[in-house]
Amino acid sequence: MNLLCTVLIGALVGAHASTWGMYKDAPHEGFTVPKYLRSIVLAAAIAPLVSSLLELPPIASAPAVILFGCVYAMERAVLESWKTFFRDEDQSKYAIPMQLAVFGKTVKSRPVRLVLGVVYVGIIVGGLFLLSRVDAPSPTGMSRLLMAVTIGALGGWFSAFGGAWKDAPIEGFQTFKFFRSPLISAGFAFLLYTIGATALQGMLGAIGYTVATTETWKTFFFPSVPRGKFAGKPIRFPEMLRRRRYFVPLYVAIWIVILTGFVLALTQR
């Protein structure tokens, strides 16, 4: 039963990420079932591994909520690393390169990208391992707030610097955008530490929920504004502006499940 719940949580993570991604990209790229299912399959597959490594069996609301955020972070890390370092794709359709770029210029050499990708993944894995070694039980009082704005915000800072590296050479540096992820991550980390997350769980879960929140805001509150990577690019599949709305009820339902989980976890403490 735990395994089934874990896989289900992973599938919900993937459906959430696939839906906002499709909603923004489909008018420019079109819709395909394999691409939509990609994150669902990936998140469902890695969820049991994340649950085991982080000791998060979804036996109650709190660990289930924490697990959702952690799987979200890991699914995004795996997929974005693959797209940045290991995938070969025509970049001319993008306003901002999706493959590894230096000062806005794509790194053409695939061997160089592969080597840098291995180093990048190694640094992430090493950092997570070190954080797990100094992990502590759920903090309380001021220590909880301190941990939230330091360790809990680490994922947000990582995202902020990575986003600035990729986007700033094309879009220019945006102060609010740079500090947005660390601030939101610290807030989510505080909530996750409140319901019992360890330092590592809180950091990973916070970045997962930060991505889910910021992408929801950018996608569904500003639906006419294209993603930065498609800025200035024509809408090649205008029919998707209508068809993509059919997925909104699923997206809203997942958010209702998430919020209900947080409420139950907080009230059960």
- Give DSSP secondary structure letters for 196-260: T--HHHHHHHHHHHHHHHHHHHHHHSSTTSPPGGGTT---S-TTHHHHGGGGHHHHHHHHHHHHH
Give 37's pLDDT tier (boundaries 50, 70, 90): very high
Q: Which amino acid is at 183?
A: L
User: Radius of gyration of the chain from Cα atoms?
Assistant: 18
Cα separation of 19 and 45, whole Å?
18
pLDDT of 168 reads: 64
The three-point CA angle 165-192-227 to 5° equals 35
Over residues 48-87, the pLDDT tens digits come to 999 999 999 998 999 999 999 999 999 999 999 998 898 8
Q: Report the SS3 class of residue 106.
A: strand
Give 251's pLDDT tier (boundaries 50, 70, 90): very high
pLDDT of 200 reads: 92
For the chain, give every domain's residue range. 2-136+215-267
Find, among 258, 261, 134, 251, the residue nearest to 203 by Cα. 134
pLDDT of 226 reads: 72
Instruction: Label residue 30 left, alpha or beta by phi (over 0 means left) and psi (-120 to 50 means alpha).
Output: left
Q: Does residue 230 register a pLDDT over 90?
A: no
Share of the chain above pLDDT 70, in %: 91
CB 14 within 8 Å of CB 45: no
Q: What is the pTM of this model?
A: 0.90
Over residues 89-104, the pLDDT tens digits come to 777 777 777 787 777 6
* First-residue to last-residue Cα distance in the chain: 24
pLDDT of 34 reads: 95
Interaxial angle between packed helices 141-149 and 175-194, expressed in degrees from 0 to 180 and rounded to the nearest 10: 150
Q: Does residue 136 register a pLDDT over 70?
A: no
Over residues 203-221, the pLDDT tens digits come to 999 999 999 999 999 999 8
Over residues 148-174, the pLDDT tens digits come to 888 888 888 887 777 766 666 666 667
Our measurement of the distance from residue 151's CA atom to the centroid of its chain's CA atoms, rounded to an integer in Å, reads 17
Burial 252-264 (b: 16+ CB within 10 A, else e): eebeebbeebbee
Q: Does residue 33 register a pLDDT over 70?
A: yes
Give the phi and the psi of residue 21 in degrees, each rounded to 5: -65, -45
Q: Report the SS3 class of residue 31.
A: coil
